[in-house]
Each structure stands twice: as structure tokens, then as C-alpha cells.
């Protein structure tokens, strides 16, 4: 059953009965069931309690009928054992109390042993594998650049001023940080695979802030280390970023069986840039879900027409579901994707 799930088949570019679909941030505040749990527990409290994290992971699987589950966790959890500190302040996003700016700060970072220091994540995976009944489970981590940007900035950022300043003025410090992070993240991701994650996604959400030269020099080798160790652990790997139109060929070189595309590039154009020997995931604009159903349908069909039934398309948004999205619209997209592909298959 699992080996034949359409999501795993699409990751391997095999033929599918209908296009698989799941959503980044499919668990979260847009769901009433999630908000009910968040009334009692903070985000970190949910992550720390494997039974709760497993329950939240299952909520969208039950409500939407998606073809994959993504483990409920956060890309910033490794910041805690690293010693940088992590807090989610109400309405402010993440705050990392001890940002890394100098070589002394890099040297002060703790070594991290995922199974010991982030064991609650692996526990959630083990629980989920017993409860998912054949729906594949996606594990994930942040890519070294995106995680480094939070650790250097101390939180979210628009311009990545401190991150790029470090790259351009103190490259040895930046490289030392990326070296440490890529070791930690590779170990964390392979621990998730050993615990039972059947596919993993590496989120380089903010890498589109860079030009291709800086990507190749400062990011590619470190992403490659994480992506390659996941691949060697034997599962399909999804490599995701946004604003990546000029970076796609280099991201492909860094690794991944599946490349994530955001909505800024038409899916067929992105796929041509990458070539046919790789699968793609995407790429509906998340704000499409705020439009009337007729408009949503036209745009879902546009993405599917561009994929044109080529093996290796996983339907998703170009980035995560936004907070005020209507659950009914998300569910409608799942049905539209499944129905469209079935109609096409029947017409052949
Ligand atoms: O359903 C899922 O996708 C699984 C869970 C998941 C979360 N974060 C839970 C979460 C995943 C895959 C992530 C990844 C993540 N976290 C990324 C990469 C994906 C992306 O969107 O680009 C990033 C950049 C982060 C860092 C992060 N976590 C930020 C910037 C924030 C605050 C912004 C916000 O939306 O409030 C978080 C908090 C966070 N992580 C929430 C959730 C569901 C917010 C909800 C809450 O506070 O309960």
C-alpha cells in the first residue's frame, strides 16, 4: 500500500492514478481544531509533547484528504540545543535571544546529537507511523542558509542585512557557522528518517534573497551535505525555496529528487529550466485560496495543464497556507486536483 501511494510514486517520477496533493503549513491556525489545542498549549509545548504533535499532524489529514502528512515541528527547533535560544512571542514571530555575529559566537554553539537533544521529534514520528494507515509521512528541516539567517538576525528579516554583511565582510565566520549547521541538520534529518520519515523536505525558504554567485559560494556546498545525507539514508528528498527562478539550476545541483517551485514562475517554465530528470512540487499562489471558487478552479487547472500529466508532479502551493485561509477552500483544492487528474486519465 505505502510503496504504491501516489505521493511516493510521484516523488520517484512513476505514473500515478491521479496527481498527489498536500500543503506546506497544512496544520496551523487556519484550522479550528488547531486553534482549540493552541488555546491550551504554546507552539513549543505542542512540539515537546509527541502525542500532541502527532495529533496536530493528523488534523489536516482527516479534514482535507491530502496525500501526505507533514510532521508537526518547526525548522527553528535545533536552535534550542545549539544554545541560541528560541521563543515565539505573540504576534512577533520567532525570537532567538543569542544571535551569532562573531567567530566567538560560532565557537560557543553546542554540538547537537539529534536523537538525544531533539528526541521528542523522533518520538512523534514513531507514533505517527503507527497511526497513519498508509498515508506517507514527510519529515523536514530548514536548509543551512535559512536557519543561519534566523540565527544571525535573531529573528525574521526582510533585508537579511546582518546575514549578508557577515558573508561579505567576515566570510570565514559565515562558512564556520554553515559548516556547523550543516552537520547538525544532516544528523537531525537522518535521525528523522531512521525514526520512520518516508520522505523529507529541506526548506530553504529565504534563499531567494541571494544571487547565483553567492548561492554557489556560500550555500550550495552546505545544502548539498544535508540533501546528500538524506538521499543516502534512502528516502526521496524535496528541496524547497521561494524566489528561486535564477537559482533553480544550482539548487538542482545541490540535490533533491523533487524541486519546489513558487508561484512567480509558471510551472512548465520552471520544469523546463530544471529538465525532465527531476520531479517538481507546486505551485499555486497561497492567496489564490482567498478568491471565489470559480477563480480557484481556473488557477488549479492552469497549474495542472502546465504539468500536463508528466510523471513527477506533486501539487502544492508555492509557499505555506496563510492564517486566515478558509478550510473549505483548501479542501476544495484537494478535490479539484484529484478530480481533474481522474478526468484526464479517463479521457485517454
Ligand atoms: O503543517 C506544517 O507545515 C508543519 C509544521 C511547520 C511549522 N513550521 C509549524 C509552525 C513547518 C513545516 C514549519 C516550517 C517553518 N518554520 C519554516 C519554513 C516554511 C516556510 O513557511 O517558509 C519557517 C521559515 C519557520 C519559522 C517560523 N515558525 C516562523 C517565521 C514562525 C512565525 C510566523 C507565523 O506564521 O506565526 C513560526 C511559527 C509556526 N511554526 C507556526 C506553525 C503552525 C505558527 C502558528 C502558531 O503560533 O501556532
- 144-153 vs 161-169: helix crossing angle, rounded to 10: 100
Give how far Cα 338 sits from Cα of 2, 111, 199, Å.
18, 45, 21
Q: What is the pLDDT of residue 348?
A: 57
150 is catalytic: yes
Q: Is 150 in the pocket of ligand 1 (CB under 6 A)?
A: no
38 is catalytic: yes
pLDDT tens figures, 216-235: 999 999 999 999 999 999 99
The span from the CA of 144 to the CA of 182, in Å, is 6
Q: What is the pLDDT of residue 2?
A: 61
> Which cell numbers hold the place of 211?
544571487
Q: Is 88 in the pocket of ligand 1 (CB under 6 A)?
A: yes
Q: What is the pLDDT of residue 122?
A: 98
Which of 88, 154, 204, 330 for a ligand 1 pocket mutation test, highest count of atoms within 8 Å of Cβ?
Answer: 88
Find the catalytic residue in 6, 30, 34, 74.
74
> Which cell numbers hold the place of 70?
507533514
Q: What is the pLDDT of residue 98?
A: 97
**Atom 31 in ligand 1: residue holding the nearest Cα:** 93
Q: What is the pLDDT of residue 3?
A: 62
Q: Is 145 in the pocket of ligand 1 (CB under 6 A)?
A: no
Separation of CA 25 and ligand 1 centre (Å): 7
For residue 207, what is the DSSP state? Answer: G
Q: Is 238 in the pocket of ligand 1 (CB under 6 A)?
A: no
Task: Indicate which atom in ligand 1 lies nearest the CA of residue 27.
Answer: 1
Give how far Cα 2 sits from Cα of 5, 117, 206, Å.
5, 30, 32
Separation of CA 28 and ligand 1 centre (Å): 8
pLDDT along the chain (348 residues), means of 10: 83 97 98 98 98 98 98 98 95 94 98 98 98 97 98 97 98 98 98 98 98 98 98 98 98 98 98 97 98 98 97 98 98 97 71
Local structure of 38: helix, strand or coil: helix
Separation of CA 43 and ligand 1 centre (Å): 9
Q: What is the pLDDT of residue 343?
A: 75
Per DSSP, the chain holds a count of helices (H) and strands (E) of 17, 9
Q: What is the pLDDT of residue 341?
A: 80
Burial of 306 (0-12, 13-18, 19+ CB in 10 A): middle
Which of 21, 22, 23, 25 for a ligand 1 pocket mutation test, highest count of atoms within 8 Å of Cβ?
Answer: 25
Q: Count the Cβ atoms, other than its own, within 10 Å of residue 40.
A: 9
Q: What is the pLDDT of residue 292?
A: 98
Find the catalytic residue in 30, 34, 150, 222.
150
Amino acid at each position: 500500500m505505502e510503496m504504491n501511494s501516489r505521493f511516493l510514486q510521484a516523488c520517484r517520477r512513476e505514473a500515478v492514478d491521479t496527481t498527489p496533493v498536500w500543503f506546506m503549513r497544512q496544520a496551523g491556525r487556519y484550522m479550528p481544531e488547531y486553534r482549540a489545542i493552541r488555546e491550551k498549549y504554546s507552539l513549543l509545548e505542542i512540539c515537546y509533547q509527541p502525542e500532541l504533535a502527532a495529533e496536530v499532524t493528523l488534523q489536516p489529514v482527516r479534514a482535507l484528504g491530502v496525500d501526505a502528512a507533514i510532521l508537526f515541528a518547526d525548522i527553528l527547533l535545533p536552535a534550542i540545543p545549539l544554545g541560541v535560544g528560541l521563543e515565539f512571542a505573540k504576534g512577533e514571530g520567532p525570537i532567538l535571544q543569542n544571535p551569532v555575529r562573531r567567530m566567538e559566537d560560532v565557537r560557543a554553539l553546542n554540538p547537537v546529537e539529534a536523537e538525544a537533544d531533539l528526541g521528542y521529534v523522533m518520538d512523534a514520528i514513531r507514533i505517527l507511523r503507527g497511526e497513519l494507515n498508509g498515508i506517507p509521512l514527510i519529515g523536514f528541516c530548514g536548509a543551512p542558509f535559512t536557519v543561519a539567517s534566523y540565527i544571525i538576525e535573531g529573528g525574521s528579516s526582510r533585508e537579511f542585512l546582518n546575514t549578508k554583511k557577515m558573508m561579505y565582510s567576515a566570510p570565514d565566520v559565515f562558512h564556520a557557522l554553515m559548516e556547523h549547521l550543516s552537520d547538525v541538520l544532516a544528523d537531525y534529518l537522518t535521525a528523522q528518517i531512521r525514526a520512520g520519515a518516508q520522505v523529507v523536505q529541506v526548506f530553504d525558504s529565504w534563499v531567494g534573497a541571494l544571487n547565483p554567485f553567492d548561492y554557489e559560494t556560500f550555500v550550495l556546498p552546505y545544502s548539498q551535505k544535508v540533501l546528500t545525507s538524506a538521499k543516502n539514508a534512502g528516502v526521496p528528498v524535496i528541496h524547497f525555496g521561494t524566489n528561486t527562478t535564477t537559482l533553480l539550476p544550482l539548487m538542482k545541483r545541490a540535490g533533491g529528487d523533487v524541486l519546489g517551485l513558487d508561484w512567480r514562475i509558471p510551472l512548465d517554465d520552471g520544469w523546463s529550466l530544471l529538465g525532465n530528470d527531476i520531479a517538481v512540487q507546486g505551485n499555486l499562489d497561497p492567496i489564490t485560496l482567498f478568491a471565489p471558487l470559480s477563480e480557484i478552479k481556473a488557477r488549479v487547472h492552469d497549474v495542472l495543464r502546465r504539468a500536463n500529466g508528466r510523471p513527477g508532479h506533486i501539487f502544492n502551493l508555492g509557499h505555506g497556507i496563510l492564517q486566515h485561509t478558509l478550510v473549505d477552500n483548501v479542501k476544495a483544492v484537494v478535490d479539484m486536483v484529484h478530480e481533474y487528474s481522474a478526468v484526464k486519465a479517463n479521457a485517454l
